[in-house]
Structure formats: C-alpha cells, structure tokens
Chains A and B, each alone.
Chain A
Amino acid sequence: MLAPRPAPRSSRVPDALVRPAAGAVSPESAIRRRQMREAAIEGVVTLVALTGIAAVALIFVFVGREALPILTDPSVHAEASFSRMFLPQVVREGRPAAFLWQPVSAVPKLSMIPLFVGTLKVTAVALALAVPVGIAAALFTSEFAPRRLRELLKPGIEMLAGIPSVVLGFFGLMVLATWLQSAFGFSSRLNAVVAGVAMALAVVPVVFTVSEDALTAVPRSYREASLALGATRWETAFKVVLPAAAPGVLAAVVLGFGRCIGETMIVLMASGNAAITSWTFGDSVRTLSATIAAEMGEVVFGGAHYAVLFFIGVELFLFTFVLNGVAAAFMRRLVRKMSGAAA
C-alpha cells in the first residue's frame, strides 16, 4: 500500500547515472517528473492554505468597499459624515443638540452614539455576570472538583457553548424577559438587562474554556511547592495558581468582551431594539450588531443608510480584530511564563 510505483529498472543504481537509450523512459526523467509533481502538489497545498489570509483580507476589503461612499460620495457624506455620526446634532431649531438614530425619516439621523451606548450597556451586564461565574467555575473545575465531577462539568459547559445563539435569544425573549420583569419590575419588557443576561449564557463558556485551559497549564510544581510550604488548597488556588494563570484569564475576559460586541441574534431578539441614549439599564437598547441585522433587509442599496450599516460592520470587524490581538498577546505571555517556569 505504501510502495510507490518504482520507475522501471530503477533498482540498479548505476542506471540512474547512465545515459538512457533513445525511446526508453529514463530513470532520470522519471525522477525529475516525480520531483516536479511533488513540487506542484506542494505549491497547490500552499496556495490553498492562503485562503485563510485571503478570507480575512477580503472581509475587510469588501465590507469596507460598501462603506467607502461615506468618504467619497458627496450625497452620502452629507448625511453621514463623521461629525454627524459621532457629535451631537441640532435636529430642530431651538431644541438642544442630541444623538439620534432615526435612519428612516424625512431627515435621516445617523448618530452612532445610541448604538455604542446600547452595545456597552448590554456588554457591561453580560460581562458583570459571565466573568465572575466563568472564572470561578473554571477555578472550581481545575482546582477543587473531584475528577469524576470534572468529567461531567466540562462537557456540560461545552454543551452550553453548543447552543445556537438564536436559541439563547429565544430563551431570553420568551423566558428570561418574563422572569426578570416580575423580579425587577422593568417598564419595558425587553431591555439591556434581559439581553445582557441572555448574552452572559453565551459568554460564560468562552470565559470558562479559556481560563480553564490557562489554569490547567500552570505546572504541578507550583501547587506542590505551595502546599509543601503549608498553604491550604484554597490559598494555593487563589494566591498561587490564579496569579500564575493571570494572562490567560485576562485573555479569556478579552475574548468574552469580543463575543459580546459581535453577538447578534441574542441582542436582536432580547434587547427591545430601541435606539435610546440613556444610562438606565431598564430601557430598551439597540446594539451595533442588531442594527445591521434589523435594517439591512429594508435598506436602499447604495444610499447613506446602506453605507453606514456597512461602516458599522467595519467598526465591529476592527474592534474584534484589536481584541483578538490583545488576547493573543496575553496568551503568548502565558506560554512564555509557563515555559520559563518549566525549565
């Protein structure tokens, strides 16, 4: 099965050196053909491997291309310049300047600020819940849980990670919204808290998995040294293992943050989708991602609104790009720290 098809008469070594008779398949050219075939295959494999790089580049270029009219097209620029998107605007004479997202009206108002505020509110709620729970659960799994329990916990949380986000959005909309409204008496049923809690369900597995990996990467010798010095198990866990794994845990938080910003279906279904600029968590909110999802279907192709929705996509892409870079830097630091410790 493994044997390659040998070139004829190749078993006799000197043949490779002798000039072949005319018409016969020369071993030399057979070898050369084989080498060329190998080189061609390697070339194809390498070329295919570039798809990943091409995909990232194409995503940036093509999402950016549709957003470009903001800078280049004067009519689009008039409606959606950077000052209109990021600074308060006077809508009507005599009224105070305000941030408004009202893309479909006689005078479209395309301020990003309500969307930023909405995204931040949902993210704050989600991270406030998911970060402590995710890290604590990871600490419990790696440091305290008996082995059998660990074998149950990890697949359990992986299952939570496997739930499609549209199902979490559905759960937020149908179940959590009702519970939280009866618990806190929100005036609007769907709001930043409901979306944040539902989002936390998606973020806990991210924080858990990455921190758990970081905690397990801490060498046994750390724990043994700490225990041998008379520290208890919790002291070892909180004062030795957790600080040692800190870069990895930070990476977990950063990745969780990135997930919050980009997640779409949960906020689209559970946030209420009203673009209100307020710091009250009980108000309905509209996030960046949900805005794209909700409005792209009804937008006029090529108009200012269309370009701005793609511009939001560029923002989301850049945010997560930066956050991924930060997380990767933390992970590199963890690896360096751990490999230095093992030596």
Chain B
Amino acid sequence: MSVRSRRLVGGGLTAATGAAAALAIGLLAVILWDVGRGGWARLSWEFLVSAPREGMTEGGIFPAIYGTALMTLLMTVAVLPVGVLTAVYLHEYAPPASRLAGLVRAAVTNLAGVPSIVFGLFGLGFFIQFVGRAMDRALNGGELRFGQPALIWAALTLAVLTLPVVIVSTEEALRAVPRDLRDASLALGATRSQTVARVVLPGALPGILTGAILAVARGAGEVAPILFTGVAYFLPDLPRTPWSQFMHLGYHTYVLATQSPDVEATRPILYATVLVLLVLTFALNGVALVIRSRTRGRAASAS
C-alpha cells in the first residue's frame, strides 16, 4: 500500500471507531434529553410527596419512592454482612490457590450472570413457596401469611442478586489496603480477626461503601426479580410490616408505560417517574464513582 492510501485507510478506520464511541454517548444524551424534557414539567415537590389519584392520572408517586427506599434498605441490611464476610474470606482467610475459594469465585461470577427474571422465579420458588410456606406451617397454623409476595421476600431476592456487586467491590477495597498494615498489626501481637476487624476493614471502608451504593443503585432499578415476589401496582396504604406488599418506582414505570387506560393522560406522570428513577440511580452511581476515584488516588499515593 502506498503511504497515501495507508493514511486514508487509517484515517477512515480511526474516524469509524470514533463515530461508534460518539454514537454510544449520543444515544445516552438522547435518552437523558428525552426523559429530562418530558419529565421536568410535571416534577414538583407535590409530585414527590403525594399519592397517585384518579387511576394514576393525577397525584404523585410518594408510595413508590417510599417502597423502593424501604425495600432497598432491607436488601442492603441483608446483603452487606454476607457480601463483606465473603470478600474477607476470599482475600484474608482463604489460603492461596485454595480450591474452595476458587469455587466461591466461580459461583459468584455465575451468580452475576444469572438473568434477573430467573431470580424472580427463585424468589417465588424458594422464599415464598418453600421458606414462607414452611413458616406458615410452623408459626401460623398453616394459614397463609408468610407464603405470599411481600416486601421482605423481594428484598431478600434482590440481596441474592446484588451479592456479587458487594463481594467484587469489597474485595477490590481489601486489595487496596497495604500489606504493611496487616503485617504491622500482626507483629504487634494482634490476632488475625483483630487485624481484620480493626485495621483492614476500617481501611477498606470507602470501598465497601462504594459496593453498598452500587448494590443499592442496581437493586433500586431492577424490576424483573420483584414482579412475583412482592411488588404491587397500587396500594392505598404504605407498607407497615415486612410482610406487606409495596409499590416500586421501576414497576410503576412499567405499569404506567404498558397498562395505562389513557396513554395521553398518564404520559407526563410516566416521564416524571422515569426522571425520578434515573436521577436516583445516577446520583447513587455518581457518589460511588467519586468515593472510588478518591480512594484509588489515596491508595496510589500511599504505596
């Protein structure tokens, strides 16, 4: 090839890859612009703090925000200890080249790849049909109370789904804690568990927080796993116990978008709901990103 044609081909290919990158970012911009434009007008304080009225064509989305927050909180309480301890095992306790650790890692990778709808089936088959029914037989004389869709089952299902997120980011955070600190602590006579609890985990706290926030962002946006495990389209009351059903921003979006009797009337509310959901997930992801980049900077300067 002549120098000129090599330049031309090279320029063309570089431009093509640049165009692909621009396309991806452009589509992101289009989505944000469309949702922002469509949702901004309807968004108000009133919208955030009031309940839906007139068959979802009036009022706000407070119960959906409340349900999402409550479910995510329960999920975090369930997933955080398990995820953090698993990462502690993988990074602090497991011997190098441990078979068991390899198996745990493979399981976590696979768990991360299981389709979200399968988690929904799992929640229904395991938590509701198996655990819930067993609790009914044991505690409630066989009457149906626990063995039906509920806030707690949805939260636990999502806890299983977000487990890999927490494990992966906690392990990354543990890796960033310098070895010297562990050695110093052990040399001073601290036991392994004391070193982990008082030196390693405090040092890894920002990274663990990042993992928790990423899990919350993921959990708040997932709809498929909660379809059969606890979400409801409309409830007159806020959920009072973990055994109540709940409303959810993502499910609210789905219902408004697909099952509205009057598309034009619900459109502004639909857009505003999507805007709230997007702002929520982006804010959470953004916070996680900031914490992560700050800790990475610190780890780099420390070593």
Q: Name the interface residues of A188-241: CB closer than 8 Å to any CB of B.
A: 201, 204-205, 208, 232-235, 237-238
Total A-B contacts with CB atoms under 8 angstroms apart: 281
Contact with B along A253-288 (1 / 0, CB 8 A): 001001001111100110000000000000000000
Q: Is B303 at the interface (CB under 8 A from chain A)? A: no
Main secondary structure on chain A at its contact with chain B?
helix
Given contacts A3-B189, A169-B257, A317-B114, whether A52 and B163 have CB atoms under 8 Å apart is: yes
B223–A238 CB distance below 8 A: no
Given contacts A3-B188, A66-B121, A289-B115, whether A169 and B90 have CB atoms under 8 Å apart is: no
B121–A63 CB distance below 8 A: yes
A159–B285 CB distance below 8 A: yes
A145: which B residues are within 8 A, CB to CB?
Answer: 18, 21
Q: Is B278 at the interface (CB under 8 A from chain A)? A: yes
24 contacts between A and B (CB under 8 A): A42-B192, A42-B193, A44-B85, A48-B85, A49-B101, A52-B108, A62-B126, A133-B24, A134-B24, A156-B24, A156-B28, A163-B278, A164-B278, A166-B223, A166-B277, A167-B221, A170-B253, A170-B257, A205-B24, A269-B257, A309-B121, A316-B117, A317-B114, A321-B110
Q: Name the interface residues of B94-112: CB closer than 8 Å to any CB of A.
A: 94, 100-101, 103-104, 106-111
Binds A, one of B6-14, B47-55, B138-146: B6-14
Cβ of A162 to closest chain B Cβ, rounded Å: 4
Q: Is B40 at the interface (CB under 8 A from chain A)? A: no
B110: which A residues are within 8 A, CB to CB?
Answer: 56, 321, 324
Question: Chain A: how many interface residues by the 8 Å CB criterion?
Answer: 92
Cβ of A77 to closest chain B Cβ, rounded Å: 20
Cβ of A150 to closest chain B Cβ, rounded Å: 10
Interface size range on B against A: 35 or more
Given contacts A66-B125, A153-B21, whether A264 and B224 have CB atoms under 8 Å apart is: yes
Main secondary structure on chain B at its contact with chain A?
helix
Q: Name the interface residues of B193-228: CB closer than 8 Å to any CB of A.
A: 193-194, 198-199, 217, 220-224, 227-228
A232–B113 CB distance below 8 A: no
User: B253: which of A41, A166, A204 is its contact (CB, 8 Å)?
Assistant: A166
Q: Is B295 at the interface (CB under 8 A from chain A)? A: no
Alpha-carbon gap, A205 to B28, bound state (A)? 11
Q: Is B300 at the interface (CB under 8 A from chain A)? A: no
Alpha-carbon gap, A41 to B89, bound state (A)? 11
Closest to A157 in B: B24
Q: Is B23 at the interface (CB under 8 A from chain A)? A: yes
Closest to A152 in B: B25
Cβ of A230 to closest chain B Cβ, rounded Å: 10
A316–B254 CB distance below 8 A: no
A residues within 8 Å of B by Cβ? 1-4, 6, 34, 37-38, 41-42, 44-46, 48-53, 55-56, 58-59, 62-63, 65-66, 132-134, 136-137, 139-141, 143-145, 153, 155-160, 162-171, 173-175, 201, 204-205, 208, 232-235, 237-238, 255, 258, 261-265, 268-269, 289, 292-293, 296-297, 309-310, 313, 316-317, 320-321, 323-324, 328
Name the 3 nearest CB pairs between A and B, nearest first. Answer: A262-B115, A164-B221, A136-B20
Alpha-carbon gap, A4 to B221, bound state (A)? 44
A169–B254 CB distance below 8 A: yes
Q: Is B63 at the interface (CB under 8 A from chain A)? A: no
A165–B118 CB distance below 8 A: no
B224–A59 CB distance below 8 A: no
User: B126: which of A58, A208, A255 is its contact (CB, 8 Å)?
Assistant: A58
B125–A166 CB distance below 8 A: no
Q: Is B289 at the interface (CB under 8 A from chain A)? A: yes
Closest to A10 in B: B189
A4–B191 CB distance below 8 A: yes
User: B120: which of A4, A166, A292 is its contact (CB, 8 Å)?
Assistant: A292
